[in-house]
Structure 1
């Protein structure tokens, strides 16, 4: 199986996916992060195909991946987010899945990391609408404790989604 991990930073998600046996392409806009992703994969004894990419300018592969993974990619304002979501959907093969995790608007009050712009945060309604042409297999809002370094530590307002591209349009 193949996976695309977008805006993957230093490659934790991409390396983990490779450890599960997937052939992984990982992207980030920061060259230093991509270097660190490659080094992490090497330390873990796995291979990833890591690229420096501006997601809004990149020519995305179409119907190329069994899974597209987007974990905390909430840097994009709504118009750019909509373009990225559309390209994520086009990149996944029929019957492939999109795995997404992010922060909900309640996160701002927690002050434990994540974007400070409420418009960049996800709600269940936003994700249902954005992925209404996919089968949403899992969509859950929850509060969990994170320990992802100094910038993301403590109680967090999260949302998770797994959506499958339909093999035939309805």
Structure 2
């Protein structure tokens, strides 16, 4: 059953990223862009990096980037975008659950709209936490549980329709317990990212430093 679900997600994202245009645009997420500039470029992991708009931006700033996603088409678009911007990064195709990541091996992690299924959510965030070095930074933005109401009123804003794939502040605190919280907020924002993130939405934003 799990493999079938993984294949469904892979097919979904390959279909979406298989389009000619960059479906969430080529520009980085504004929150990620604001915060990644505050830190010295070292190594960063970008799970669910899709077409690479955030990973490529980090590479432009001098970060050593490893991006992960299920989609072969996402990788192709990322490498195209990287070439346009004269940077390089490593892109691994696969399920984050199955990919071997060394403990305490990254200086930063960008989690930008990285929504996982309910049964994987806690396990994957533990894995993400384990591969971050002490003193490392997490930059996180994703849809909050309140976002369902926004999605019902405006499907163009995008995001999962399963409330268990959405986030609360309490979940973030539970996933990243041993962190100095630099920012944690639930906020209404107006998204304008390509074709699938458009309109008012409710998001959780978190920036934390691992102790």
Does the TM-score normalized on the shorter chain lie above 0.5?
yes
- Aligned twin of 1:108: 148
Residues 100-144 of structure 1, C-alpha deviations (whole Å, 9 max, x = no match): 110011111112210000111111111111111222221011111
Match of 1:152 among 179, 188, 197: 197
C-alpha displacement at 1:151, in angstroms?
Answer: 1.8
Match of 1:127 among 172, 175, 185: 172
Greater alpha carbon shift after TM alignment, 39-48 vs 52-61: 52-61
C-alpha displacement at 1:19, in angstroms?
Answer: 1.0
User: Hey, what's the Cα distance between the residues in 2 that align with 1:53 and 1:91?
Assistant: 17
Does structure 1 residue 69 correspond to structure 2 residue 114?
Answer: no
Residues 141-162 of structure 1, C-alpha deviations (whole Å, 9 max, x = no match): 1111111222211001011111
User: Hey, what's the Cα distance between the residues in 1 that align with 2:203 and 2:43?
Assistant: 26
Report matched runs for 1:29-44 at 5 Å.
29-44=70-85
User: Across the two proteins, how many residue pairs are aligned to each other?
Assistant: 165
Does the CA-based 8 Å contact 1:88-1:98 persist in structure 2?
no
User: Hey, what's the Cα distance between the residues in 2 that align with 1:162 and 1:61?
Assistant: 22
Unmatched 5+ residue regions in structure 2?
1-41, 152-156
Does structure 1 residue 91 correspond to structure 2 residue 128?
Answer: no
Structure having the higher strand fraction is 1
- Aligned twin of 2:47: 6
Hey, which bits of structure 1, 4+ residues long, moved more than 3 A?
none
Does the CA-based 8 Å contact 1:68-1:91 persist in structure 2?
no
User: Hey, what's the Cα distance between the residues in 2 that align with 1:79 and 1:117?
Assistant: 12
User: Hey, what's the Cα distance between the residues in 1 that align with 2:101 and 2:144?
Assistant: 27
- Aligned twin of 1:23: 64
Question: Aligned-residue CA RMSD in angstroms?
Answer: 1.1
Partner of 1:135, secondary structure, is strand
User: Hey, what's the Cα distance between the residues in 2 that align with 1:79 and 1:132?
Assistant: 20
Does structure 1 residue 143 correspond to structure 2 residue 188?
Answer: yes
The normalised TM-score by structure 2 is 0.75
Partner of 2:114, secondary structure, is coil
User: Hey, what's the Cα distance between the residues in 2 that align with 1:52 and 1:77?
Assistant: 18
The normalised TM-score by structure 1 is 0.93
